[in-house]
Each structure stands twice: as C-alpha cells, then as structure tokens.
Chains A and B, each alone.
Chain A
Amino acid sequence: MKNQWNVKRAGLILAGVFGLVLCSAGIAAWTYAADALPEGFKKGDLAPEPPADMIEAGKRVYFTKCVWCHGVDGAGDGPGADRLWPRPRNFNQGTFKIRHTASGELPLFDAKKPTPGQNDLFETVTHGLPGSAMPSWEGILTEEQRLQVLSFVTTQLVKDRKFTDKQSETQTILQLADLKPKAASDESKKRGSELIVEKKCIECHGMEGRGDGNAFNLKDDWGFAIQPANWHKCWNFRGSRQDPYSVKNIFRTFSTGVNGTPMPSFADSTSVDERWDIANFVNSLCERDAEGNPLPIDPLTDKPKINFVLPGKAVEGEISNDPENEMWKSTPRRYVAMGGQITHKPRNFVNRLDDIWVKVLYNDKSVVYLLEWDDRTKSVAEGKLPWKPTQVNVDVKEQDPKTGEEGSIAANQNKYAVYNDAIAMETPVKWQELPAPIKPRYLFGTNDQFPVDIVKWEADGSIRAFKGTGWDKDFEERDTYEENLKVLKSEWKNGRWYVMIQRPLGNKKEQDYDEDTFFEGGKYVPTVFFAWDGHNGDAGRKMAVSAFYYTFLEPPIPRETYIYPLFIAGGVVILEAWVLTRRANKKKGKTL
C-alpha cells in the first residue's frame, strides 16, 4: 500500500514538472525498478504465529488422522507411505506444491483466516489433492480442526524453515482474485498452443500434453520418481481444488510453479496475458463430452461420473479399423475407471493406468471394442517376466524395507525391467445362466462350471485367450481360440494407446458354448477390463482392474414399439369421451 502511495506521489510531482506524457512513463519505469516483481504478483506480509492452544489442539488431529501417511516427524514416512504414489508430503523442508506464492517461497497460511485464495495450506486440506491419496477433509474435520492441524504442521513439523521468520522468508503473492481470466477464444487457445512449444512445456508434458515427454526419469527434491501431469485428466490435477475445469487453477500452477518438482514458475518469462492463453489451451485439452461440455464430476470420488453400460451400435457389413471413421465417431464412448489389483499377489499398489475409454460396434458376425487409454510410455518386453502371466497368489515379498530404502516400492519406481503394455477384456461364459443380477461370483470367474473368457492383447502384437475359473486359480491358456480373434488396430501415439480388438459374437452352433461368451443383442453382458503398464513392472496379475461393466449390443427397434403407443393413445381418447359423457349425463340428472 505504502509503495503504491509513494508511486502515486512521485508520479504527481513528475507530472507537475515534465507534463503528463513523461509522467506516465515515469511511473512505469519507477515501479519496475523499485521491486521488479513478476506481472500479477504483489509483496505480502508473513502471517502471525498461530496461538499455542491451536498448535496443541492440532497435534491431536494430526495423531488421529495424518500420522498414518505423513509419519511421526512429518517426514512423509508413515506406515502407509511406501505403498503410495504419489508419495505423502515430507513436511520437514517446508516444500509445498500448491501455492499462490512465488517459486521457492512458503505457501500462504494464516491460522486465523480460512479465506479461499489467501490460505493455500487450508485449501489443500479442505479439498485434498486429487489424483493422490490425500482426500478432501471437508465434512470430516471442522474448519477449526483443519486450521489447528495446520498450525501444528507449520510450526512443529516444518523444521528447516520458519513461517514467521522475517529475515529468511518473503511472500510474493499472485493476485489471482484481481486478475480477470481471458475469454477462452479460439485465438487465445491457438496462441496458447504455440506458447507451450515456445516455453518448452511439451518437453515434459508431451506433444499432446499426456505427460509423456522426455521425462520418464524425473525426480522430486527427495529423489522419488514423479511424472508430469497429464493435461487430458484435469480431475487429477493436484491443484484443481475439486474444480477441475477451472482455468484459474491452471493459471496459478503455471505462475507459481510446483515446489519440490522440476515444474518451474513461468512468472518471469511470460506476461499475464500469455499465461491466460496457455491456461486456456491446457484447459481445453481436458476430456469433454461429445458436445464439448466438461464431463460431469462425481463429488464422491472427484472423478468423472461413471455409466456402467457400454452401448454397442449395430453396423451393416465390415467394421472400419479407423477410429476417425463416421461409424466410430457417431458411437458414444464410455469412461471405464481402473484401480490397482491389490487383492491377490502380486499386488499393484502403485497403479498408473486409472482409466480407459471404450467404444463398441458389432455386425452380424463379430463385436469390436475400440480401447483408448493414456500410458506415458510405450513398453515392449525387454525383461523376462518375474512370474507367469497366468499365475495368481504368487509368493512375493512385498514390504520389509522401509520407505526409500533399497528394495522398497518407492526405491523401485521406474527401475523395473520393462514388460509388455497390455489390455484385456473379460466376459463370463454362460452368463445367461448366472442368477440375476448377471455377474460372476468373483472378478476372476466363479468356478469350473461358470468360467470367464479372457481376451488379452499385448504390445508385442500378440493376442491370446485365457480361461479363468476362480479367484485363487491360475488362468488357463486357450490355445485354439486365437484364430477367431483379430487385432484391427494397435498404435501408441503421444502417450496414448489405440487398440481395436475384434472377437466373434459367438453362438451355440459354431463355437464352444462352454468356453466362449455368447454376445446376444439387447442383453447385459458383464464385462471387465484389465490393463498393464509395462514400464511400471506390470505383468501377470500385477495390473489395473475395472469393476463389472455391461456390454449392451443395442438391438434394432421392434415394430411393436411403434404400434402399441398408438393403441394406448386411442384408448385414452375413448376414456375421455366416456368421462365427458358421464359428466354431461350426470348434470342433466340422468344416471346410468
């Protein structure tokens, strides 16, 4: 404030002496020379120290809720830490990712002021960090409790820096509330698309922004593997504050950088206007529906809402192998959520494939699945598989070494032998005979009588078929079925796989009904997807799995659908006539 006033006064004096034109130039030059802040930033004051009673109360919150991942000393090494990726924050160094402050500075935190936009840490605890294990604590902890625990963390667990030390700490704050977002016009987005090349964003984030750039071995300040954000999954942006399609959050991250990671602040090298262009472009890449509207986000999970029915459209004749073909383009796609297979060894705690996009077409002979999913690395097997791809309940040692030590999951990240990227679809055999709701009893098949039929494609080009007969049984390879399967397309481009798999509809006469799934129109065929990221050490049952979806081959509309409604409407007309007549008769005093 004082600075501003000085500037104004200096301007006025100058105006008196040199005249209006010189004066305005004078202000600009003087301000610039005085504090040389990046555009959009202002100096701020350090917040006062939180009161001792809040710190004490916060300790109780911390040791109930936070200690399990963040550890007793806040070093990010709690019991849960080693099986998590991204890893829990190590508070000791005072390095925090999501801030309104300049690169390298401490985030905004004031124990007495939970104002949105002015209290970074409070907002992080409130909204959580989507895409990581940090949940939103809103509705669980009260506002007071969230402020208390942060008072404890910032004073007791941040050890290398001090939030109140005026000698060593400064606050240069992005004035996001005062900056008006630029309209996301085509022109702005086009300029943004040029800027991300010019500013070298694509070096890490990739040509299409899928986080697949030359960045596989990126590490954070503590030496743990991290990966650049995938701009197509804005609901996973850590700083999205549960509002993923908001351009302001992207603008903030781009302006302040992400402390502790290789993501720098671009505040010095770009103007505010350029930053809005980039933010508009990055925001425009996030997945949207067919009309270009943001996907509806489920507030329970902070991920896109799921529709469990995969509708398959009927096609006359050949099914095209080109996703750009009209028949594919007019087919609705479905979001299939993927979680780590953490129920049977080898377990996949660190899962990197969290969704698949699916489209289905069918003709009189076969059904074709178009599967698209983001995978930062194309992986074709180099190493020998540590276990058989069919094997379940493999005896592997999982935990002993502590976080970061030799042999821990954290230390192994990005150091696995490379196996094949792969995808598989599982459908039950004889699903018609399963009791309603038609679903096998377990993900890997019920038993010998009700097995599941698995079709798996791998990045080395192979397509194979397996049979699953129960949760604790190895899959059996089906040697004779492959000739019925066909890979229409498999391509990895800029961090995304495009795979099209064709399989026979199957029927009782030609195929083996006891081993194949018979796809019937108008029926719900339970369908599960498995996916493997070869660079993540995924092989065999170490994979990502989905829940049960339903493939629904849309049947042609039967003629009755047009006829019966006409009959019903006619019936209503007769009913109306009857009511009117009755009323008229009653009024005339006639009774029937």
Chain B
Amino acid sequence: MKGLMTVGAAVGAIGLLLLVGMIFDIVPSNTVRLVEGYMPMQMLFELACFVAGFTGLSYTLNAMGKGIPRFVQGVAFWAFILLYLKFRVYPPIPFSVRAMYGTVSLVAVFMWMSANEEDWKKFKQPIMNVLDAQSGRTRLLRTAYLILLPILIGGFSYNAMKPKSEEPIELRTVHPAPPASTKVHGKTYVLQTSQNPYRVNPEGKYDQEYSNKLIVEQSMGRLMAPNANPWDDKNQGYLKYVREGGEIFFQNCHFCHGDNLNGRGLHAFAFNPIPANFTDPGTIAQLQETFIFWRVSKGGIGLPNEGFPWASVMPPWEQHLTVDEIWKVILFEYWHTGYYPRTWD
C-alpha cells in the first residue's frame, strides 16, 4: 500500500511540475502529444492519473506527519482544475466554457468537502477563524480581506464593463438536417434510397461488405489493408474507383481538407473555422454517403436555414465535378479515413 502510494505521489508531483512548466512556458504545451481523435479519452486519463497522484501525495504527506489541511486541499484542487483547463487543453477552450466547467468542479469540490459532518467542519474552520479574528495573524488576514475584496470586485466589474473587442462567439450546427432529396445535374436523388454506384465488387454489383474489407486499417497511421493497393493496375471495381476518387480529391479538395483529410490543407490556415476534419470520428463516420453527396454537391451555400451560421466557403461542387466524380471522391474519403458510411437502417 505504501509503495503504491509513493508511486502515486511521484506521478502527482511529476504531473504538477509538468503543468507548472507549461504555465510558465518552460515546457512546451505539446510535450505530451495529444493524439488526434483520442483527445477526450486522453484528457480523462490524464485527470484520473492526477487524482490518483494527488491521493498518493496526500497519503504520503500524512504518513510523514505533514498532512495538508482540508481547506487548502479543496482550494488547491479547484485551482488545479482551472489551470489544467486553461493551459493543458488544446485547442484552447473559450473562457465562458471554462467558467462553466469551473463552476461544476467548484460544486464537486464542495460535495467532496461536505461528504460528512466532520470533514465539513474541518473545511470551514479556517474561514470561521478568519471571521472571528482571535489571533494576530487572522486579524491581519481579515483586515486584508476586508480591504482587498471591494477593490478586487470593483476592479473586475470595471474590466468587465470596459468596451472590448473580442471576437464574437459562433456556435456551429455541425450536421444540419438534410433534405429528403437533392437535384444534381438535372437528376433527383432521394437521400434515403440512393447508393454510391461505385461501391461495387469486381463483378460490378453494389457490395458494401466487399468494400468494407478493403478500406484502410483503423490503427495508428491508417494504412491501406495489405494487398489492397488502389494503385495496382489490375484492380477492378471498388479499389479502381477509390484511386480515381483520390485523383479528384488531390486536384480539388486537399487544398482545404488536407493531405491526410484532417482539415489542414495548404490554404486551411486562412479559414475560420478551419475546414472539416474527416479523420475525426464525429464527421463523415457519423453520416450516410448520400448526406455527403448532398453536402458536396450543394456546398456551404446549399445549407438549409437552420444550418446557421453557414461559416463555410465550400462551393457547390456540382459546378466543377460530374455526379460520377462526386461519388468517387466520397468513396475515396471513406477509404482513406478507414470509416464505414452509416446506413439508413
């Protein structure tokens, strides 16, 4: 038990040092890389490590007879959560969201502190001591609080009222509801019944099972399945069309959506927000092929009214591409990210 707690303490201490380093910009904040797509899990794992670490620290300190008072523990843990959110989480989250998480964790800390009567007493004792001001130190503290609080709160409200020029926040509708059907190049496609005509086996039959076996593997790097090279000249059916779709993608789409389909293409830096990341499990992996067909054909301008705020310069690709080319590009996007399109049933 003791050994375990010592390990925990070490983890906690190292983690804290890293975080402090990041706050003061000594350690670059990407030292421990956040892996794309796994970020939320990684964050939760890290936080769990920290909590375990703190338990270890607290236990070890107690064993050494230098236990930290309940009140300090509570305040320190809350401060830790706030700093973690501000300095570790990347891309940075806006203040309003952080304030929300901050409030939630404050409530959590209170719940933790008031879990039983004795703990609660221990927790509020320092506050009461200062209010009562029995000793010289607490009297000094009380006077300091009495003077500082009005000044600080006044200052904050001045800051809050001063006209500021922060970018207005935009909340996006990521997947607006699609229409029932869409008309592209003069032909109407019903989204529920249309199929990608190129998702076919070598015999030319629509075959999702066949194509699913040939997409890239979902492991790190997302490499093509062995013996499923779309650049093999002997390919018939699905893989042949994947290659043709890729050619179209790399002549039209990668400028924004990126060489790795992660939304970081050559021109992506100029856009706000940066273009959609197809490798994120929240984008095309959640959608049907026909939904993509509609979005690609109609572009940002084709978004429905509730698809607000239309922060997209994606053109209606039907201007530039034929229906066949659009289907092939979609085929390529699913192949390259290793996702299956969702089906309607």
Contacts and interface: CB of A to CB of B under 8 A. Distances in A.
B132 to A, nearest CB: 7
Contacts, number: 192
Given A309-B165, A583-B131, A569 B310 contact: no
A442 B310 contact: yes
A61 interface: yes
Nearest to B332: A68
Contact of A339 (B230, B248, B269, B315): B269
B255 A67 contact: no
B311 interface: yes
Q: Which of B33, B132, B272 has the most CB of A within 10 A?
A: B272
A337 B268 CA distance: 10
A163 B170 CA distance: 53
Nearest to A436: B168
Contacts of A546: 270
B223 A308 contact: no
A300 interface: yes
Contact of B265 (A133, A308, A309): A133
Given A68-B259, A133-B254, A344 B168 contact: no
B55 interface: no
A308 B310 contact: no
Contacts of B178: none
Given A141-B221, A338-B270, A561 B161 contact: yes
B150 A573 contact: yes
Contact of B229 (A63, A83, A564, A569): A63
A79 B246 contact: yes
A543 B90 CA distance: 33
Given A560-B161, A565-B161, A570 B262 contact: no
B157 interface: yes
Contacts of A441: 301, 310
A63 B227 CA distance: 11
Contacts of B168: 436-438, 524, 550
B163 A555 contact: yes
Interface string A561-592: 11011101110110010011001000100000
Contacts of A437: 168-170, 309
A458 to B, nearest CB: 22
Interface in A337-373: 337-340, 342-345, 349, 351, 354
Interface in B253-268: 254-256, 258-260, 262, 264-268
A552 B271 contact: no
User: By CB atoms of chain B within 10 A, which of A60, A301, A340 has the most?
Assistant: A60
A479 interface: no
A383 interface: no
A426 to B, nearest CB: 13
Contacts of A545: 270, 313
Nearest to B259: A135
> Which range holds the interface residue count of chain A?
35 or more
A69 B250 contact: yes
A545 B267 CA distance: 10
A82 B274 CA distance: 24
A64 to B, nearest CB: 5
Contacts of A137: 260
A583 B146 CA distance: 15
Contacts of B259: 65, 68-69, 133-135
Interface in B79-106: 90-91
B154 interface: yes
A566 B255 contact: no
Contacts of A393: 319
B231 A139 contact: no
Size bracket, chain B contacts: 35 or more
B150 to A, nearest CB: 4
Interface string B121-137: 00000000001100000
Nearest to A547: B272
Interface in B305-342: 308-311, 313-315, 319-320, 336
Contacts of B262: 140
A90 to B, nearest CB: 17
B251 A343 contact: no
B224 A343 contact: no
Contact of B222 (A64, A550, A580): A64
A569 B153 contact: yes
Interface in A445-497: 471
A83 B149 contact: no
A269 B161 CA distance: 61
A443 interface: yes
A116 interface: no
B207 interface: no
A135 B308 contact: no
A84 B272 CA distance: 22
B162 interface: yes
B251 A399 contact: yes
Interface of A: 60-61, 63-65, 67-69, 72, 78-80, 82-84, 132-135, 137-142, 145, 298-303, 306-309, 311, 337-340, 342-345, 349, 351, 354, 393, 399, 435-439, 441-443, 471, 522, 524, 545-548, 550, 552, 554-555, 557-558, 560-562, 564-566, 568-570, 572-573, 576, 579-580, 583, 587
Q: Name the 4 nearest CB pairs between A and B, nearest first.
A: A339-B267, A569-B154, A339-B270, A80-B250
23 contacts: A60-B223, A63-B229, A63-B231, A64-B223, A72-B231, A133-B265, A135-B258, A141-B221, A142-B221, A299-B30, A337-B269, A339-B269, A342-B256, A351-B267, A393-B319, A435-B308, A436-B168, A439-B310, A441-B310, A546-B270, A550-B168, A552-B165, A572-B149
